[in-house]
């Protein structure tokens, strides 16, 4: 009897949803991301141009995030590597600290969009000589003046050529000087190379990946290394810093890079 009542209840919901009794589910077509509504507020269902209903997650891949204008990528100029700070042999975050390689800041006010880190990819052009390893840490904090100086300012762009929505993320890459973090959280920690990196190495950090990382077959030959870290989200007014270092590290490394993330 319970199974019959459950079946009849489901059928009644489906009949109402399909409009058999004059009722129907409607929404507002919005291919671009609509204006955000505060939590607990009622809002219209969002649909696509063809009546499809948007859900979360949007897709197994990330094309729909790019389609709505939420996905962004920041890169160096192709063929133009950017120098890091030399002689970073340990991890330190004191006042005036150097060694941060990548700085991301969510410039939204409280209650605004969040930034979801997807991946960080590094292309080795000049190796950090004498470094016996290449280690990294990813740290979130909320110091409003965390970035002090240095690095190259990067303007993230949408990979959707039909979208002109600007990014809310401030980005610097290179030899960056930073202030002391406040309310620090270490959200990523790993080793990208257990030996001195090789020219043409491609080193990638994947945020929130469900797959395992991959290792290089040879210490001498160039190759690809993928390391998986936590699903990292940068809240409004927060910063994310990537610091890399290696024991006995002397000559400054030079990298080209690519960072992917979305904003919602």
Give the containing element (helix H, strand E) for 11.
Answer: helix 2-17
Cα gap 182→131, rounded to integer Å: 30
What whole-number percentage of the chain has pLDDT above 70?
84
pLDDT > 50? residue 234: yes
What share of the chain has pLDDT > 90, as a percent? 51
Asked whether residue 154 carries a pLDDT value surpassing 70, the answer given is yes
Any idea where the domains of the chain sit in the sequence? 2-55, 73-263
- The answer for residues whose C-beta is within 8 angstroms of residue 146's C-beta and 6 or more apart is 103, 105, 178, 179, 181, 239, 241
Least confident of 42-56, 114-128, 143-157, 205-219: 205-219
| Tokens representing residue 127 in the block | 């190796």
Location of structure tokens 């609509």: 34
**Which residue's structure tokens are 């940068």?**
234
| DSSP character at residue 39 | T
Mean pLDDT over all residues of the chain? 85
Both tokens assigned to 132: 């016996």
Rounded to an integer, what is the distance from CA 145 to the centroid of its chain? 21
> What's the CA gap between 238 and 243, in Å, rounded?
16
pLDDT tens digit string along 64-108?
899 999 999 999 999 999 998 887 888 888 778 888 999 999 999
Contacts for 1 with CB less than 8 Å, ≥ 6 apart: none
Give the separation between CA 35 and CA 54, rounded to whole angstroms.
15
- The Cα–Cα gap between 245 and 197 comes to 12
């Amino acid at each position: 009897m319970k199974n019959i009542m459950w079946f009849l209840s489901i059928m009644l919901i489906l009949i109402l949803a399909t409009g058999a009794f004059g009722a129907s589910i409607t929404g507002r077509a919005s291919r671009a991301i609509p204006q955000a509504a505060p939590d607990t507020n009622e809002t219209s269902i969002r649909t696509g141009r063809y009546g499809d209903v948007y859900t979360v997650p949007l897709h197994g891949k990330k094309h729909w995030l790019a389609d709505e204008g939420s996905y962004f990528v920041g890169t160096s100029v192709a063929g133009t590597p950017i120098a890091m700070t030399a002689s970073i042999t340990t991890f330190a975050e004191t006042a005036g600290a150097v060694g941060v390689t990548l700085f991301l800041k969510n410039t939204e006010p409280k209650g605004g969009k969040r930034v979801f880190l997807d991946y960080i990819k590094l292309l080795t052009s000049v190796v950090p000589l004498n470094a016996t390893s290449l280690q990294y840490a990813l740290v979130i904090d909320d110091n409003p003046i965390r970035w002090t100086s240095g690095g190259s300012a990067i303007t993230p762009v949408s990979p959707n050529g039909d979208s002109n929505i600007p990014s809310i993320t401030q980005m610097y890459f290179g030899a960056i000087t930073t202030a002391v973090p406040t309310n620090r959280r270490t959200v990523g920690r790993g080793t990208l190379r257990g030996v001195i990196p090789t020219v043409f190495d491609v080193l990638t950090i994947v945020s929130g990946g469900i797959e395992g990382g991959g290792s290089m077959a040879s210490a001498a030959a160039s190759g690809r290394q993928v390391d998986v870290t936590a699903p990292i989200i940068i809240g409004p007014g927060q910063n994310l810093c990537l610091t890399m270092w290696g024991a006995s590290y002397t000559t400054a490394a030079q990298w080209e890079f690519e960072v992917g993330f979305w904003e919602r």
